[in-house]
Amino acid sequence: MGIRKARMKKYISRIILYVLVVLIVVWTLAPFTWLFISGLFPYKELISDRTTSWFPENPTLKNFQAMFDMSSHIGQRFMAALRNSLIISGSVTIICLIFGTLAAYALARLKFPFKNNIVMSLISIRMIPTVALVIPFFIIIRTFDYYLIQANSNFHFYDTKINLIILYVTFILGFVIWIMRGFFLTIPTELEEAARIDGCTRTQALIKIVLPLSAPGLVATGIFTFLLAWDEFVLAMVFTKTTNSITIPVYIAALGSQYIHAFDQIAASGFVASLPPIILALIFQKFLIKGLTAGSTKG
Amino acid sequence: MSIRRQELSSKQLALILLLPSILIILCVVIGPLVFAFYLSFFKAEPIIGGISTKFIGISNYIYYFLKDPLFWSAVRVTTYFTVVSLVIELILGISMALVLNKSFIGRSFVRSIILLPWALPTVVNARMWEWIYAGSSFGALNGLMKVLHIFPADYDKVWLGFDVPLQNIPLIGNFMEWVGASTALNMIILADTWKVTPLVTLLVLAALQTFPDSLYEAAGIDGASSWSQFWNITLPLLRPVLLVVLVLRTMELFRVFDIIYILMQYSIRVVGVYTFETGMKFLNFGRGSALSFLVGLFILGIALIYVRVLYSEET
């Protein structure tokens, strides 16, 4: 009797476990799946009663095609935003990785004065809200541009990709240094010391020993940087205007306003815009989880 | 002699490696910050080719602390947003991590898809939930409520509306109204929680996996119930990671801007939105800077706690 009861209890707890797992999966996937399905609706069906219409009767790829159709206004804007976002996020990632890795190595390995102060201020800088930086940025860039125009210069900052790249690099760089330092600290110093006894210089040891070992860290940090840059909204909203520099978040935010909501376009472009970060995150998830843990818990 | 040369080169190398990063950060972050601090003592307005400034001392700060009711209501609503989000994120995050730590078929699949909400861009997340919350018969949440017979067939709720839930209950209703906890704000909390909880789950899960099984086996032999195992073993061991999550999330939640601005523009004034409105909509640069500085100081305070926590966990 006792054994049967214990078996029964185990059986029930398995069922509860699977119910909970299913709930987690549904909770995680349902909203995004609905976004994708909504993209397949023709507009007329999209704006109909949800109690009966959860799937499109006449599914269409029109909404997705429109975004890549360069002859239409929607297509031109979306493709420009996609291109700008890729260029900006890509450049920011490369620049941050180069400078950030060097600085992180110095902070993890070398002895020099004020080291702890620098580490501390880096973390604090990462915490400054972008909204707090928008006002000084706006005034400075506006003034620069005024004098550049006065001097008949072709170059100006407002509404350019370079401007956003510079701004993004600064607020992400501290974060990159912080995470990479965490990774470097996990690599035993003995390996480097052995290499240096064998006659390597510090730079050689960095390139030949430390960098290959920290490749997973570099990948994770690179993806974080890319995601942060891809996601940024405040600065992009303030400092971009035309297809010259608008990014994906600005494009999608502009699709809805208080009065107009193009939900068919929002669904389709929202889905496509999420694909690069989601694919990156899913492919490199092992690295990312390691990076998340190292970045937030390792001092 | 050789040791001294070694030390010198270590310092020099550090300087070379750090210089580019420090220069970038000094010019583009510290510089503007100092400038904003300076501006916060002025009445500053835009003119052609720059700004006009008039020194007014600490009037901007006095204004916010003593004269401006909107400032304190922004503090209240931001605090509500932060605290409620944190509580839900922690409870949901820990529960999900506990479930995913058990062995079941398809575990690695479930663990990978859990990252999806976290990777979704904030703007897409905002617009996606706005579409789900659509306050008419084509909104998915309204449809769901009707299918489940929670709502009558002819009723559509305006999810992003300004009515205050629990309004009719005395005290609680008054409190909700006082903090400005409208239905819209609560639904935004839900949307934001959906996106961020995976992060909490993954951090807790990573910590759970480092716990030795022997601990639980011993407790099992002693006849401890799963609830007391969780309360007496798991939770104390999770303390370090929970502290980190707590402080990190508090900072991020308190500076919330994107999702609220995208969905509600200026109608829910959390401090981030209020700062932006003052500085960038009304172009009141002095006051906006003062407000940024107050927010910045608060977040810096939490950041210092964070650093303290990290260093104390290390030693």
Residue A2 belongs to domain spanning: 1-60
Q: Distance (Å, rounded) from C-alpha A283 to C-alpha A264?
A: 29
The whole-number pLDDT of residue A298 equals 43
Residue B315 has pLDDT above 60, yes or no: no
pLDDT tens digits along A119-160: 877 777 777 788 888 999 999 999 889 999 888 888 889 999
The last residue of one of the domains, among A60, A75, A101, is A60
CB contact under 8 A, A256 and B240: no
CB contact under 8 A, A131 and B276: yes
The whole-number pLDDT of residue B91 equals 95
Average pLDDT over residues B14-41: 86
Across A173-187, B21-35, B163-177, B184-198, which has the greatest mean pLDDT? B184-198
Chain B positions in Cβ-Cβ contact with residue A124 (cut-off 8 Å): 300, 303-304
The whole-number pLDDT of residue A259 equals 57
Residue A233, phi-psi category: left (phi > 0), alpha (psi -120 to 50), beta (remainder): alpha
Residue A184: helix, strand or coil by DSSP? Answer: helix
Instruction: For residue A16, give both structure tokens.
Output: 């509860």
- A29, A146, A266 member nearest B131 (Cβ): A266
Instruction: For residue B164, give both structure tokens.
Output: 């205050």
**What residues contact A197, with CB distance under 8 A and at least 6 apart?**
none
Whether residue A93 sits in one domain with residue A26: no
CB contact under 8 A, B295 and A131: yes
- Domains defined along chain B, listed by start: 81-270 (1.10.3720.10)
- pTM > 0.95: yes or no: no
Is the CA virtual torsion B135, B136, B141, B147 positive or negative? positive
Whether residue A132 sits in one domain with residue A51: no
Whether residue A47 sits in one domain with residue A12: yes
**Which residue of chain A is at minimal alpha-carbon distance from B124?**
A270
- A28, A166, A288 member nearest B116 (Cβ): A28
pLDDT tens digits along A208-264: 888 888 888 898 899 989 999 999 999 999 999 898 999 999 999 988 765 567 888
- Reported as type and span, the H/E element at residue B47 is strand B42-47
Residue B8 has pLDDT above 60, yes or no: no
Average pLDDT over residues B258-282: 93
Residue B185 has pLDDT above 70, yes or no: yes
Whether residue A45 sits in one domain with residue A162: no
pLDDT tens digits along B107-142: 889 988 998 999 999 999 999 999 999 888 888 999
pLDDT confidence band for B212 (50 / 70 / 90): confident
CB B256 within 8 A of CB B272: yes
Residue B102 has pLDDT above 80, yes or no: yes
Whether residue A41 sits in one domain with residue A77: no
- ipTM given for this complex: 0.90
Whether residue A141 sits in one domain with residue A267: yes
Size of interface A-B (CB pairs under 8 A): 292
Whether residue A196 sits in one domain with residue A175: yes
Instruction: For residue B213, give both structure tokens.
Output: 């099984």
**For residue A220, how many other CB atoms are within 10 A of its CB?**
26
Number of domains in chain A: 2
Whether residue A53 sits in one domain with residue A201: no
Average pLDDT over residues B55-74: 88
Determine the residue among A135, A231, A274 to mutate to test chain B binding: the one whose Cβ has the most chain B Cβ atoms within 10 Å: A135
What CATH number is attached to the domain comprising A285?
A: 1.10.3720.10
Whether residue A69 sits in one domain with residue A8: no
Whether residue A222 sits in one domain with residue A178: yes
pLDDT tens digits along B65-75: 888 889 999 99
Residue B223 has pLDDT above 70, yes or no: yes
Whether residue A9 sits in one domain with residue A123: no
- Reported as type and span, the H/E element at residue B3 is helix B2-25
Residue B3 has pLDDT above 60, yes or no: no
The whole-number pLDDT of residue B24 equals 85
Q: Distance (Å, rounded) from C-alpha B86 to C-alpha B89?
A: 5
Whether residue A149 sits in one domain with residue A263: yes
